[in-house]
């Protein structure tokens, strides 16, 4: 297979960038055209800090060490360990927040989000699905994989043990899903935690990747958001670079 040319001559695509195509693909396009213009939000800063906390105690594994562990058949939990794979010749790389593997079977992928919004967005679902796809490409069995999205309130995230609380609640939900054969479950209503779990679908992941990769291989133009509220705080709108902006940029 001839390696396709990727926009902006990128060598690989981060999973987070692919997921954000569902937030505003035009903003992704402008980000690479104008790299000196920063993205920033208090939630992004908090999310970075909390992710560093979550992975601070994780042991860094080399690729051979990780493969040896997986081959051993033992139950292992991985945090922020990179996985790579290709789709239509395009290399993709991601760092799942939490992965549980047993005997070559991936049982759980969990992604942490730090947000004031009490809903799960399409971009967040795409992100965990793409992690599932990469695990599949690494010859792991994803037939019984459950994907979870844990949304933690920025105001309250420092007031409880994030790792312990999420792990306990998540495994209780995983057990319920498997026992009752549910399609999906949500975390119990709480001011600290929101989100839920769903079964991984390889066909769904590949369908969404097809759409995403069409942009990167220049088969179509970038699609702008249809949500005006996203345009108000957009740094590219503020800089006068987006002709698709639906509202004027916010001023502070």
> What are 136-143's contacts with CB under 8 Å, separation 24+?
136/85, 136/202, 136/205, 137/83, 137/84, 137/85, 137/86, 138/83, 138/84, 138/85, 139/104, 140/70, 140/101, 140/104, 140/105, 140/106, 141/104, 141/105, 141/106, 142/106, 142/200, 142/202, 143/105
The pLDDT score that the predictor gives to residue 43 is: 47
The gap from C-alpha 197 to its chain's centroid, in whole angstroms, comes to 14
CATH number of 7-238: 3.90.320.10
The pLDDT score that the predictor gives to residue 206 is: 98
**pTM of the entire structure?**
0.90
Phi, psi of 20 (to 5 degrees): -75, -5
The residue ranges of every structural domain in the chain are 7-238
CA–CA separation, 233 and 41 (whole Å)? 9
Question: pLDDT averaged over consecutive 10-residue blocks of the chain (252 residues)?
Answer: 90 95 95 84 50 54 74 86 95 95 94 88 96 96 97 70 79 96 94 93 98 98 95 92 93 56
């Amino acid at each position: 297979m001839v390696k396709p040319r990727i926009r902006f001559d990128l060598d690989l695509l981060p999973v987070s960038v692919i997921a954000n195509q569902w937030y505003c693909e035009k903003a992704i396009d402008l980000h690479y055209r104008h790299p000196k213009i920063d993205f920033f939000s208090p939630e992004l800063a908090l999310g970075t800090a909390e992710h560093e906390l979550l992975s601070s105690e994780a042991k860094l594994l080399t690729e051979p060490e990780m493969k040896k562990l997986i081959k051993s058949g033992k139950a292992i939990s991985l945090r922020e360990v990179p996985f790579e794979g290709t789709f239509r010749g395009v290399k993709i790389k991601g760092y799942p927040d939490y992965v549980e593997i047993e005997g070559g079977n991936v049982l759980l992928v969990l992604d942490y989000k730090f947000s004031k919004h009490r809903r799960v967005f399409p971009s967040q679902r795409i992100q965990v699905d793409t992690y599932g796809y990469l695990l599949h490409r690494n010859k792991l069995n994803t037939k019984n994989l459950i994907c979870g999205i844990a949304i933690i309130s920025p105001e309250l995230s420092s007031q409880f043990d994030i790792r312990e609380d999420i792990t306990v609640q998540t495994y209780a939900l995983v057990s319920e899903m498997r026992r009752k054969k549910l399609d999906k479950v949500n975390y119990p209503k709480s001011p600290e935690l929101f989100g839920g779990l769903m079964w991984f679908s390889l066909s769904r992941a590949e369908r969404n990747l097809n759409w995403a990769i069409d942009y990167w291989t220049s088969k179509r133009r970038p699609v702008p958001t249809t949500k005006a509220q996203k345009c108000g705080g957009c740094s590219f709108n503020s800089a006068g670079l987006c002709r698709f902006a639906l509202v004027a940029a916010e001023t502070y």
